[in-house]
Amino acid sequence: MTESRNHGKGRPLVIALEDVAQEAILIGAFELAQRFQRFASYAEGKLFLDILEMYYDERARLRSEKFMRKLVAEGADRAVSALDVLCQDNPDATAADARDLFQGIARSVDHLGVEAGEDEIALSTREVKHLQQYGHMQLVLRSLPLLGSTEAGRLLRDVLADADTGLLAQFLELKARRTSLAALRAAVEDPDSSESDLHACLRNQEWIFGGAYVAELARRQYHSTTILDIPLLRADGSLHVVELKRANIENLVIRRSGHLMLGAQAHQAISQAQNYLRTLDENRMSILTSHGIDSRRASATVVIGHSQYVGDHISSLEVAETLRTYNTHTTRIEVITYETLLDRRLGWSPCHRRSKIQRC
């Protein structure tokens, strides 16, 4: 599973699988690309075989479903027991009381964890696999509306009336995107979120950057000195680079002599993107020959900061205007905040938000 074990896997196989995934992306075979990306994760030891089999082995999937049904049934049984205790302690309990009870249980779950303990007891491989299965099941259940809710009834009535699988697929995609946006917003609003935390929220979410991009490329390194955060493929086969920085940057925009301008950290991020583009330009032929990607005159987006963290009493509107002024003087690099990235997906901007109280 790792480089230290002699099972014919290790890093060379991971790289080979990632290369196949990228070639599949280039020809538009996205389902095949996803398959090889999962194989690469398995070869690298990041994905257990039990989880991988659920995608491609019918019997393994049925076993997993049986396990999930059993777990859900056990959870329902525990819920009934909790309601029995509630009714014993409070015979006049209402539905609101039951809801408060389960909300309290849900909040208490956040305080549970699996730790080594005083005796340094480590989890077995089997237990870790079960935890990963729980995580997989949670992702599935998270996309479903509450049973018995008005939303669930309307959804099932509308979908089952026409049995339109395309509509169902669109709905699931929309739910997944809403979940991704919520996770990104939560990471942005956490002042302690690192670049890695934000990168995890944006991985394989090329749609959030706009419809001009076909897919996120599997390979992140096209030159020995350059590792890209998020390499995106345009419809014409050219490369677009996304460079991610932290959201919590106080001096993203500064005020000097009565004028607003970008701070030092923003300029450093822009210089880093410029160096990436220069390297890609200089190595265009080798990258095109080896990977089938046209890196000449590639473009870049730097995502950095959020107006809520900017100091010196600089407003969200002033941050947006400062970035807009900067971007009008550049051709290959655009600088946006995480606020703008989220607002684009929601279809509104700082100007739009303030339209009720002032004109932009």
DSSP labels for 94-150? -HHHHHHHHHHHHHHHTT-----TTTTPPPPHHHHHHHHHHHHHHHHHHTSPPTTSH
Euclidean distance between CA atoms 341 and 214, whole angstroms: 18
pLDDT tens-digit map of 195-244: 999 999 998 888 899 888 888 888 888 888 889 999 998 888 889 999 99
Euclidean distance between CA atoms 28 and 338, whole angstroms: 29
DSSP, res 307: G
Q: pLDDT at position 84, please? A: 82
Distance of CA 85 to the CA centre of its chain: 40
Spatial CA neighbour of 299 closest among 224, 243, 220 = 243
10-residue stretch averages of pLDDT, the chain, 360 residues long: 48 86 84 86 81 81 79 78 81 83 68 50 58 53 52 56 57 78 92 92 88 86 89 88 95 92 95 94 91 88 95 92 93 94 65 38
Spatial CA neighbour of 222 closest among 15, 78, 46 = 15
Estimate the crossing angle of helix 49-56 against helix 125-142, to 10 degrees: 40
Using alpha carbons only, give the angle 124, 130, 132 rounded to the nearest 5 degrees. Answer: 105
DSSP, res 335: E
Euclidean distance between CA atoms 194 and 185, whole angstroms: 13
Beta-strand pair 221-223/226-227? antiparallel
